């Protein structure tokens, strides 16, 4: 097994369905307009070093921000750089992620799709696979299996919460429980990506191929809340962020969040946080810390990930 390095500059594109399926592909992208297609049956991890990157699976797009990492194992995915950005991606067929040094179980039962902040250890594991100096005009790199194994194991180490969720899923085997968790994560992902649309429960249940009643029960068993409660929590967090961290008027915020009127938004805000929007902007809100603890920001370190990016740039 070898490794192939690809560079996407500006509006260049790369379709991995046309590339060799028996090696690891390390892609670095920089600029605006670049596109990457990763086929179904592959596992990929993408790190944005600067700017933002649009990802889409099917008809569902979402943005990956600076210092955010997306692990994707659930079908094909497209990367589209609509703005100036700098990003790295490692992609390979799922079978290649099962190689040593550590894991012996099927990797499809270990890696769970997730968007997360990127700490220094995880960033370095990814950067080590993407360093162009390890490649001789695109030729195979020595010992890529070991480096991919380090990245894989670093990802697994950071999925303890997801593995606890996996244990709470229904199913007699690990594979069945993993399939159940993937269904629920699709629902959760859809809620995050369409938070302004407010999809009804029937539509969410259809994504998981469950009845609405069964979806509510199993979702609560695994995540400790219903889909509606999760969506409300995300909307509350977004409302709080917009009130406290933007200069938009309350009327503009209410309109952008889909409220019928400014007064309706203000009532909902006071009910959620125990204070008015004016008090929140003055730093007098009482439940801000509790809400952010419930919906924490990604735990990546700006300084450490920036250092890893600088290490990559110097090595180039």
Q: How far apart (Å, rounded) are the C-alpha atoms in residues 169 and 152?
A: 23
Task: Give residue-wise pLDDT tens across range 76-85.
Answer: 999 999 999 9
DSSP secondary structure letter of residue 95 = G
Contacts of range 207-211, beta carbons closer than 8 Å, 24 or more positions apart: 207/183, 208/183, 208/184, 209/183, 210/183
Check: CB of residue 222 under 8 Å from CB of residue 184: yes
Tokens read off for 90: 């490692």
% of residues, the chain, pLDDT over 70: 82
Q: How far apart (Å, rounded) are the C-alpha atoms in residues 227 and 191?
A: 8
Residues 6+ apart with CB under 8 A from 300: 67, 68, 69, 116, 117, 118, 119
Q: How far apart (Å, rounded) are the C-alpha atoms in residues 313 and 92?
A: 23
- H or E segment and range at residue 57: strand 53-57
Task: Give residue-wise pLDDT tens across range 197-232.
Answer: 778 899 999 999 999 999 999 999 999 999 999 998
Task: Give residue-wise pLDDT tens across range 4-60.
Answer: 999 999 999 999 999 989 889 999 999 999 999 999 999 999 999 999 999 999 888
Looking up tokens 């990245």 gives 151
The SS3 assignment for 157 reads helix
Q: What is the pTM of this model?
A: 0.79
């Amino acid at each position: 097994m070898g490794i192939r390095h690809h560079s996407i500059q500006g509006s260049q594109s790369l379709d991995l369905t046309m590339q060799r399926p028996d090696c690891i592909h390390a892609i670095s992208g920089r600029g605006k307009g670049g596109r990457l297609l990763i086929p179904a049956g592959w596992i990929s991890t993408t790190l944005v070093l600067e700017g933002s990157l649009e990802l889409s699976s099917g008809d569902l797009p979402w943005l990956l921000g600076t210092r955010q990492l997306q692990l994707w194992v659930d079908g094909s995915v497209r990367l589209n750089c609509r703005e100036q950005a700098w990003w790295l991606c490692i992609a390979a067929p799922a079978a290649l992620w099962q190689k040593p040094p550590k894991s012996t179980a099927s990797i499809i039962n270990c890696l769970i799709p997730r968007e997360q902040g990127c700490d220094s250890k995880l960033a370095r594991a990814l950067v080590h696979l993407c360093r162009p100096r390890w490649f001789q005009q695109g030729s195979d790199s020595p010992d890529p299996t070991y480096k991919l194994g380090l990245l894989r194991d670093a990802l697994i180490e950071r999925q303890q919460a997801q593995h606890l969720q996996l244990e709470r899923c229904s199913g007699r085997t690990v594979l069945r429980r993993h399939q159940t968790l993937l269904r629920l994560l699709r629902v959760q992902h859809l809620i995050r990506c369409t938070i302004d649309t407010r999809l009804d429960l029937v539509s969410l249940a259809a994504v998981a191929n469950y009845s609405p009643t069964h979806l509510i029960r199993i979702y609560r068993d695994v995540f400790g809340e219903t889909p509606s409660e999760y969506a409300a929590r995300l909307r509350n967090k977004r409302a709080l962020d917009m009130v406290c961290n933007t200069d938009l008027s309350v009327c503009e915020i209410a309109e952008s969040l889909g409220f019928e009127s400014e007064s309706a938004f203000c009532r909902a805000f006071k009910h959620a946080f125990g204070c008015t929007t004016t008090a929140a902007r003055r730093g007098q809100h009482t439940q801000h810390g509790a809400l952010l603890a419930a919906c924490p920001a990604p735990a990546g370190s700006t300084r450490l990930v920036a250092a890893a990016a600088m290490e990559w740039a110097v090595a180039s």
